Amino acid sequence: MQSKRKQVRAFYSAARLLAGLAVVTAAAVMAAGGQKPPALPDLGPNVLVFDPAMPQAAMQAQIDKIYAVEQHSEFGPARYALLFLPGEYHVDVPVGFYTQVLGLGATPDAVHITGKVHADASARNNNATTTFWRAAEGFSVTPAGGTMQWAVSQAVPFRRMHVRGNMVLHQQHGWASGGWMADTLVDGNVDSGTQQQWISRNSEWGSWTGSNWNMVFVGVPHPPAGDWPKPPYTKVDQTPTVREKPFLQVDAKGRWSVRVPALAANSAGITWRGGSTPGRSIALSRFYIARPDRDTAASINAQLARGRNLLLTPGIYDLTEPIRVTRANTVVMGLGFATLRPVSGAAAMTTADADGIEIAALLFDAGVERSPVLLEVGPEGSKASHAKNPIVLHDVFFRVGGAGVGRAQVNLRINSSGTIVDHTWIWRADHGSGVGWTSNTSDNGLVVNGDRVTIYGLFVEHHQQFQVLWNGNAGRTYFYQSEIPYDPPDQPSYTSAPGTNGWASYKVADTVTSHEAWGLGIYSVFRHPNVVLSRAIEVPRKPGIRFHHMMTIALDDKGEISNVIDDKGGPTSITPRTTPRVAEFP
């Protein structure tokens, strides 16, 4: 109780500090003899905008206040974004829960931080397996001591970064459980160490060391030497199609805009080596800036219907109806892990089957009333192609339970063909509040009905039926990480068909004729005895269906996964430790 009171006091102290931030920043500029800066956009009380002219001590105090709130607040309500205007900074930036650190330059090198920017293990014994929901994007770092520590697990974007030194993805070799890197340059070595799994897309480094279960490199010009399974490196030379995540930027005249990167085909390496990332810019004035303390789904939908794009500032948005994205080329972005929570059993967001919609940096949190779906991309029966201008989802995260009871039938359903998903974690909570087989209920993490859907960095865990159900043709997945549910109470509660134990983690429907996936790891942590899973991956035997580099592992001493894919691979076991692997299927 005492620690909770301290956390509440820290929260309100930080809130009071932030309320005066714009005044402090302007005063610092004037004191330094500069011109009055352009007016800052009203991004709400939980967005800090740092200027190089601010006194270093003042900036550090604000950063530390936020970290005091968020260091251990795994399921807390506070959300923050720390934004750095172009220039040089000498500060230490610990990145806690629900904290997004952003550089506002056209390139990462426009914002340079000398000092420690770090994510630390959130559990004891250097254990980072619950270091979730934080981000570093769009700036360069010269790390103190030469090495940047980024000990993280799921739902932690690391994008458009330049590390002027080395980087470690663990904390003193304590466990860490998965992560994401894209459009990033590390001058020195990246050491993955005890990371269980990782995906790097369109990134570059001096060298890479470390491996564990499944490490995937897509569009990486200089991946580490060696091939799966020893070391477990899955390498795809080029990224077939992707659009980088939209980002905020401020030019030399203080004008704010959102950069929407161009669609790239068969790419490798970073987008900004020759300067700014190719694409188009949208003035921030063309966005409706939403605030959780004043906006509802109705007020947001009214602005979208007027043709505005949408920027959701940090906080939790309780929604009595879905946010409806109906116009082609609409950009919807969150700051500071803006969280959408349906409270009346509806979806949190739906989109039209329209070209070029971008949805980025949002956390969808299921409410107590069961939602049929949390995010639906395109209505049922969508038919449009979108080949030249696809719908793209970046850093969209889903949670059922953990912060309280939550219920959903499907978390993410994709009906629109050609959709690209660029990093997602779809999580039915295994710990926290409101957690139990009959409490936080969720059938499926992901259901894909559209054709030609491509996903990079697919993390889906603990749902009660198929984690992934893929009904569309010509789908592609680059990296898949999944823990099946911990908590089936017995085998009858966890049986998908007569003679089949459990529900496969990754299911390709029998009607599908073409599908391909690379780098899959599926893990069991059964908490009750005599519960097993017949197969981790279940697919029809057809020439157009191909899987590359798959493995399973039992992380606890109960139950087993009997096969990796269909009837291939054999069972997991603890004694002796058996980790089945299948290189190619069929």
> CA torsion 235→239→245→250, rounded to 10°?
100
Q: Could you tell me how many helices (H) and strands (E) the chain has, helices first?
A: 4, 47
First to last CA, the chain: 56
pLDDT of 16 higher than 90? no
Residue 139 pLDDT greater than 90, yes or no: yes
pLDDT score for 36: 57
Phi and psi torsions of 30, nearest 5°: -65, -40
pLDDT digits (tens, 9 = 90+) for 77-102: 999 999 999 999 999 999 999 999 99
Token pair 């900074």 is found at 89
Instruction: Judge contact between 583 and 518, C-beta under 8 A.
Output: no
Q: pLDDT-based confidence at 278, cuts 50/70/90?
A: very high
Distance CA 277, CA 263 (A): 11
pLDDT in tens, 391-446: 999 999 999 999 999 999 999 999 999 999 999 999 999 999 999 999 999 999 99
Q: What is the pLDDT of residue 39?
A: 81
pLDDT tens, position by position, 156-175: 999 999 999 999 999 999 99
- The CATH code belonging to domain 319-585 is 2.160.20.10
pLDDT, position 486? 97
Q: Residue 535 pLDDT more than 50?
A: yes
pLDDT at 37: 58
Which pLDDT value is given to residue 22? 40
Q: What percent of the chain has pLDDT over 90?
A: 92
Are the beta carbons of 229 and 549 closer than 8 angstroms? yes
- Range 516-542 average pLDDT: 97
Domain ranges of the chain: 2-243, 319-585
Active site residue 483: yes
Mean pLDDT for the stretch of residues 249-260: 97
Q: What is the pLDDT of residues 117-136, one digit of tens each?
A: 999 999 999 999 999 999 99
**Mean pLDDT lowest among 20-34, 303-317, 389-403, 554-568:** 20-34
Cβ atoms of 208 and 185 within 8 Å: the answer is: no
Mean per-residue pLDDT, 474-494: 98
> In whole numbers, what is the pLDDT of the chain averaged over residues?
94
Q: Which of 204, 483, 538, 560 is catalytic?
A: 483
| pLDDT at res. 4 | 39
Contact, 101 vs 119, CB < 8 A?
Answer: no
Provide mean pLDDT across the span 518-525: 97
pLDDT of 429 reads 98
Which has the closest alpha carbon to 359: 315, 409, 405, 323? 323
Distance, in Å, from the CA atom of 287 to the CA atom of 170, rounded to the nearest integer, reads 38
Taking the whole predicted model, whether its pTM rises above 0.75 is answered as yes
User: What does DSSP say about strands 442-448 and 468-470: parallel, antiparallel, or unpaired?
Assistant: parallel
Residue 38: its pLDDT value, please?
63
Short-list 116, 117, 127, CA closest to 194: 127
Q: Which residues contact 450 (CB under 8 A, 6 or more apart)?
A: 377, 378, 382, 414, 415, 416, 417, 418, 419, 472
DSSP string, 518-530: EEEEEEE---STT
